Homo-oligomer: A and B are copies of this chain.
């Protein structure tokens, strides 16, 4: 097990009606920037509920609306400007991971004397941020309890992750009932995203991180158990609750700290989204089985076999057969059980023309991963997924 520092300062208020805790924002000032996406929080009443609570608490609300599914730096800049114009003291995101990611970089941008894009490409410049709060409405990214944010500049086909201790939310409200109205396609994509976070942490070569691997398996079992239930019964409370809590744990350090994982499927997918603006979770679901097949080898077979036995309950005694079956199960889960696209063609990526340049950009992030990937490896994985 590698050395690590574990630090999860976010207070999580989990369960029905926990939005009442928004009154606590008054402890941080009287002027908040509310970030949200489209109109879904207005349709389902969360917007009105939050505004009423904040008004009663004496917190004046300014709004940054229209945050995109792959949030744009242009929107972040607009948020930073609102912060400066209105002497904003804290940022509240109501939405999914994209909205929270946007709010995080707005909060850091408000404390940075320069263009917010600097903070996306140079995380070390993030020194301070306004206090960040969130009300989660989609189980997927884990942004509600972690230090990360992913921002895109589509004018340049750039999508990068950044991070900073001060980007960890102060408090997040996780009410599973707020995800009852998430459509099937987003439920599936969210489940694929949280599974990918767990995989990225799980598939690391240091087998001394035993407890982290067992906890990652616990999360994967939960996601595989409840993903289909949430699809079939969108208002099943326990399904939504378990997916929500598992997603937060997948990326808050619990399964990653001590393993020193370097992620690789995410960097590969970020290029797909940067060039084609596809749904992140769908890109991950397409790439993951192709990546697994590419990296399966004598060196990695034992871990894939452990994955097959401990997560899928496979009982074979031969590692290679169990490993291959585990990859088949993974692909079938995404495509057949969760009804997700199986190939890049199905999400509109029909030719190879950008593969070389995308692979070149992704390769930097994949150097230190479980199995280090070169540009050529990544092109091969993209082709296999086409």
Taking Cβ atoms with an 8 Å cutoff, the residues of A that contact B are 1-9, 11-18, 176, 208-211, 214-215, 217-219, 221-222, 225-226, 237-238, 241-242, 245-246, 249, 254, 257-258
Q: Check A238/B12 contact, CB under 8 A, given A214-B218, A249-B211.
A: no
Instruction: Output the least CB separation between A237 and chain B (Å).
Output: 7
Kindly list chain B residues whose C-beta atoms are within 8 Å of the C-beta of A13: 5
Q: Check A3/B14 contact, CB under 8 A, given A210-B242, A211-B245, A221-B214.
A: yes
A258-B14 in contact (CB<8A): yes
B15-A242 in contact (CB<8A): no
A11-B6 in contact (CB<8A): yes
Instruction: Output the least CB separation between A66 and chain B (Å).
Output: 31
The 10 closest A-B pairs by CB, nearest first: A3-B15, A214-B218, A208-B238, A6-B12, A211-B222, A1-B241, A218-B218, A215-B218, A7-B11, A211-B246
Alpha-carbon gap, A245 to B1, bound state (A): 10
Instruction: Output the least CB separation between A1 and chain B (Å).
Output: 4
B257-A14 in contact (CB<8A): yes
Instruction: Output the least CB separation between A147 and chain B (Å).
Output: 13
Listed A/B pairs (20) with beta-carbon separation below 8 Å: A1-B14, A1-B15, A1-B176, A1-B241, A1-B242, A3-B14, A3-B15, A3-B16, A3-B18, A4-B15, A7-B11, A14-B258, A210-B222, A211-B218, A211-B219, A211-B242, A211-B246, A214-B222, A217-B218, A254-B254
